[in-house]
Amino acid sequence: MFSGSIVALVTPFKDGEVDYEALAGLIEFQIGNGTDVILPCGTTGESATLSHEEHDRIVEFVIEKVGGRVPVIAGSGSNCTREALRLTRHAREAGADGALLITPYCNKPTQRGLYLHFEQVAKEVDIPIVLYNVPGRTGISIAPETVASLAKIPNIVAIKEASGNLEQVSQIISRCDIAVLSGDDSLTFPIMALGGKGVVSVVANILPGAVAEMVSSFLEKDFEGSRTMHYELYEMSRALFIETNPIPVKAALAMMGKIREEYRLPLCRLGDDSRAKLEKLLKDYELI
């Protein structure tokens, strides 16, 4: 379950509310094109602007619609340990196969504080946990030593590494056997070459089959085929971060006719220059 192509699913909105009809369509699009795992309510799902009620309902809805066809890992992190506990308990009760917990943001805990945060959630909620390290968004990074200590807790089983630092990845893998997942689409192939097991992907929202093929080719030891796919996806991997994620990927999905281009402030619509570049690339990839 904690390997392969894991889509960091967007949350579609319609007139300010969650668009469950569009969400159901996205789920079918993913499963029909070979995505291994679906992950709602992560950063790409705009979890920071969801109410608790919306967050809970989206997790429940995705699990219901997936119906056991692929695993579901629910985003359940917070910068408040009590809130992360509640969200993670709900994910388990709803039937999620795992939970993704981001490092606490804004309050910038020490490494000891990070350890105690994840330890408490892991010990109080019996569900497989994926750590999520994204210092560019949170202002704090989990040190490899801390990851190695957390990996001794039985239900902390993986880490989504979005530091952009291959040295960090090497140190984690050399210190423990936790499953490392790329958190940066453009670095999936290099991270897997270091021993990573897959990706939590933004690009998979629009190119699920291609991302799944790249990852599965590597896991099946077709390294040349996987490298070829890496370069085929590379330009798109960069383009979907031309502005803050998930602005470009939601714009792309809207151009493809799968969702409305709607965000919650403080995220806003893609700028005109970025839109022109993204539209051209989508045409080059024959997506529109």
The packing angle between helices 52-66 and 81-94, to 10°, is: 30
Phi-psi region of 128 (alpha: psi -120 to 50; beta: other; left: phi over 0): beta
Active site residue 105: no
Strand, helix or coil at 96? coil
For 62-83, give the secondary structure using H, E and C: HHHHHCCCCCEEEECCCCCHHH
Q: Which of 227, 14, 245 is nearest to 278 (CA)?
A: 245
Active site residue 231: no
Q: Are 202 and 245 in contact (CB under 8 A)?
A: yes
The DSSP element (H or E) to which 243 belongs, if any, is: none
The DSSP element (H or E) to which 94 belongs, if any, is: helix 81-94
Phi-psi region of 122 (alpha: psi -120 to 50; beta: other; left: phi over 0): alpha
Residue with tokens 């799902």: 45
Within 10 angstroms of residue 258's Cβ, the number of other Cβ atoms is: 17
Q: Which residues of 236-255 are buried (b: 16+ CB within 10 A; e: fewer)?
A: bbebbbbbebbbbbbbbbbb
List the catalytic residue out of 65, 115, 132, 263: 132
List the catalytic residue out of 160, 197, 250, 263: 160
**Active-site residue list:** 132, 160
